Amino acid sequence: MTDVSESKRACHQTVRAQLDLLRPSEYTAVLIQALRANPARVRGARVLEVGSGSGVVLAALGALGAATLCGIDIEGQAVLSGAQLLSGLGYAGKVEFLHGDMWLPVSGRCFDLIVANLPHFPTEAEEFVGRLPNWSRGGRDGRWLLDRFLHGIARHMAPGAQAIITHNAFISMDRSREIVEQHGLSLRTLLTTLLYVHEEKLNRMTASVLHAESGRSIHRFGSYAFAEMHIVAIADSGHVPECHHCAF
């Protein structure tokens, strides 16, 4: 009996440890806040999340009335955890999770709403302790995944579609705008906020970015640091909304 109890306890601890690797961040919370600001845009939409992680953003979109939900993640563990979460919430009939790299799993498909909270922290360091290998890592300039996402998004947007994504202020917004404009799209900032940057992350930030952005988008108060981040909307020119209390 003791062996069975210990086995169950060990299994439970393993599951909790796996879930902790996928725990939502402050970025996720702000993205959900922005999406909830205009539920009418979500209702009835075919939704795609690139880099679905825990699946909690798709869960929030399901609660807002999305017609279908699709999540992509390069981490197999994220795909399994997301599927379990959405199934447990009763969305099994209208959700799919795909394991793969960026746009490849949805080649030829279009969506009404695309969301993403991609890793785009400028660092060349190894993985962060307590997180999956790809968490937050965006390469030396932070654009390793972001640029691939921006270059591919137009091919997957249905007429009138929008994309709502997180975007660190210490990663050039001008460069992101240039990329989407190359594909006939426009980009607008919906929301800007400050987020606490843990010392571990700050110490791993590319030195040139940290130096350039300190006092600009990165603000220090003694041993504490905060960084600006944006929620941005991408859509066809003329369809990108104005920012009215985070509505999109």
Q: Give 25-64 pLDDT, tens digit per residue.
A: 889 999 999 999 999 999 999 999 999 999 999 999 999 9
Full set of structural domains in the chain with CATH: 2-236 (3.40.50.150)
Average pLDDT of the residues in 105-117? 97
Cα–Cα separations (whole angstroms), residue 52 to 10, 69, 226: 27, 11, 25
Percent of the chain with pLDDT over 90: 65
Residue 221 confidence (pLDDT) above 90: yes
What is the value of pTM for the model shown? 0.83
Q: Judging by beta carbons within 10 Å of its beta carbon (0-12, 13-18, 19+), is residue 149 exposed, middle or buried?
A: buried
Cα–Cα separations (whole angstroms), residue 48 to 42, 111, 178: 11, 6, 23
In degrees and rounded to multiples of 5, residue 50 shows phi and psi of -95, 120
Span 188-208, pLDDT tens digits? 999 999 999 988 888 888 899
Closest C-alpha to 158, from 104, 115, 114, 112: 112
Token pair belonging to 96: 């799919």
Q: Which helix (H) or strand (E) holds 182?
A: helix 173-182
Is residue 231 within 8 Å of residue 191, measured between CB atoms? Answer: yes
Closest C-alpha to 225, from 241, 214, 236: 214
One-character DSSP codes across 132-174: -TTTTB-BTTS-TTHHHHHHHGGGGEEEEEEEEEEEETTS-HH
Residue 139 CA to residue 64 CA, distance in Å, equals: 34
